[in-house]
Chain A
Amino acid sequence: MSRDAMIDEWYPVGLLSQLLPEGRETLLMGETIRVSLGADGRAKVATTAGHPLPVTERYGHVWSSLGQPARPLFDIPEAEHPGRRLVDVGVVRVRCSPLRAVENFLDIAHFPFVHTDILGAEPHTEVESYKVEIREEADEVWATQVKFYQPQAAKSASGGITTEYMYRVPAPTCSVLYKTCPPRPGEWDVITLFVQPLTEELCDVWPWMALYDDDTPMTDLIHFQQMIFLQDRSILENQIPRRLPLDPGMEIPTRADLTSVAYRRWLKRHGFTYGAQLVAQ
């Protein structure tokens, strides 16, 4: 276990819309922190000893770090296009490694079995070849040309369609999904998974969305995404070991798991091992 390499990264620690002047205590990588609304109307994050921590306000969330982030929080340019509905989904606490939560988000092969009749359905289980790369310049994992048949791809979808996806991992506990947008062909809906590592085996997951959907009530959009994530939680809390194995041999990937393989390789290369299990352990 090591906090070293991951300590200088940005992590979500709360919703901007729910900040309170008296603040709220939460955990970041085992450390108790307080997230509050300052007198100037800005978010404040501090250790319990009162030591201030870095703050970024973006994508509906407050972001902070126990270390000194070398670069600003990653960009999601599409999320800032006008006309999108920005959806604060809320928080789901999961007893699993923050890295396992991200890896599950990158996986499509589980759709027919875990999100049955919503994001997938038998007999449409095949995962066609897609492209995976580590984009060296941006230092991000990308999977593109991911296609999957979905009975109800989004709240705004009526009937089954083949959905196209792109996945992006811009930070060790964050992923951005670009997904075919049923009401607006040619555009991509943005669905993110921001994971707050509470400990190596416990996390708060903050999904967030930027959608082209003017019709569906906000409550329904939130319920849809929460339902999906609660289905994922039943998996995430029952994987053994709880931490993500980074060395080969412990688990058996196939061609459908190339995104997860690249994610694990990228984590290992950077020494992002908070929530990981290494052979030496």
Chain B
Amino acid sequence: MMPLESALVWTPVALSADLPAASVIPARLADAALAVWRAQDGTVSAVADRCPHRGMRLSHGFVRGEALSCIYHGWRYGKSGRCLAIPAHPALTPPETIRVATYRAAERDGIVWVTASQEAGAVPAHDGFLGLRSVTVAASPARLAASLGGTLDGSVIDGTIGGVTARLLLASSGEEGVLLVHLLIASGAADAGKIAASRALEGLRRQAETATITGEAA
């Protein structure tokens, strides 16, 4: 279960499609709460989900142009994590020491990836797949793989869902016993296949969670 618990590997936190330009969302990297945001120019950045001023979650903030602002007092942070402006003191240039911790962020195959490691190599490739939908599932990876009838390898499950070739990427949801699951399907799938896979994912979640509650063997 190492991959789900380490902040030092590339971790899938969201679908690119769920993070439009000029928006911010909360995310989880192992034990750390993150705010992942996309600037107007499309760049994705990840920072610690806490404004150093008064501790407010930055994932509740807003993005304007190329900066993330805290919703509490409007403190503005650039992609480097540095505080660019403090609205209560418009004439002040914030000292360089005021900054929010940053994480590496990247996108590939329609998935947003983050890591706390500066050494982590290339972003994992899932060639031929495209992110379709993310859900949380209150079940273990083994239980989920068993419910799908797929094969579990680390934090990846391969199988078929709704008649479509599918891959599930597993990550920590931040809640004990609950997985964040990203469904990837063949990138050439037709709309009908996407709809079928999306619906089947809901069925899979129910099945895995019911099996967890009733204690069926995984």
Chain A residues packing against B (C-beta within 8 Å): 107, 109-110, 112-114, 122, 125-127, 234-235, 238-241, 245, 250-256
Contact = CB atoms under 8 A, between A and B. Distances in A.
19 contacts: A109-B73, A109-B88, A113-B70, A113-B74, A113-B87, A114-B72, A122-B87, A125-B87, A238-B57, A239-B54, A240-B49, A240-B56, A240-B57, A250-B55, A252-B98, A254-B89, A255-B88, A255-B89, A256-B73
Nearest to A253: B53
Q: Give the secondary structure class of B's interface.
A: loop
A251 B87 contact: no
Q: Give the secondary structure class of A's interface.
A: loop
A125 B75 CA distance: 11
B53 A252 contact: yes
Nearest to B54: A251
B57 to A, nearest CB: 5
Contact of B89 (A113, A127, A235, A245): A127
B82 interface: no
B215 interface: no
Given A107-B73, A251-B52, A252-B52, 16 more contacts: A112-B87, A113-B70, A113-B87, A114-B72, A235-B56, A238-B56, A238-B60, A239-B55, A240-B33, A240-B55, A240-B56, A240-B57, A250-B55, A252-B98, A254-B89, A255-B89
B90 interface: yes
Given A114-B72, A252-B98, A234 B53 contact: no
Interface residues of B, number: 23
Contacts of B56: 235, 238-240
A113 B74 CA distance: 6
Contacts of A107: 73
A251 B72 contact: no
B50 interface: yes
A201 to B, nearest CB: 13
A126 B57 contact: no
Contacts of A112: 74, 87
A125 B74 contact: yes
Contacts of A241: 55
Interface in B70-87: 70-74, 86-87
